Amino acid sequence: MDLIGIPRKEFVDFYRGFDAALADKGMKSDKIQAFVYAVSKMKRKLKPEHEAVVEAEVKLLKPYYEKMDEIGKKYAAKNDAGNPEMASMGRYRIDEKRLSEYFVEVQALEKEYKKELDENKAFLAEEIKVEIHTVDDTVFPYEFSDYRIADALFWMRKETAVITDTEKEKPKE
Alpha carbon distance 116, 124 (integer Å) = 12
Judged on CB neighbours under 10 Å (0-12, 13-18, 19+), 6 is middle
Q: What is the pLDDT along the chain (173 residues), one digit of tens a residue?
A: 788 888 999 888 888 888 888 888 777 777 778 888 888 888 999 999 999 999 998 999 999 999 999 999 999 999 999 999 998 777 899 999 999 999 999 999 999 999 999 999 999 999 999 888 788 777 777 777 777 777 778 778 776 655 444 444 555 55
Number of domains in the chain: 1
3-class SS of residue 136: strand
* pLDDT value of position 59: 92
Question: What pTM, to 2 d.p., does this model score?
Answer: 0.70
**Cβ-contact 11, 127 below 8 angstroms:** no
Structural domain containing residue 129: 2-169
The DSSP secondary structure of 26-80, one letter per residue, reads T-B-TTHHHHHHHHHHHHHHHHHHHHHHHHHHHHHHHHHHHHHHHHHHHHB-B-T
pLDDT in tens, 69-95: 999 999 999 999 999 999 877 789 999
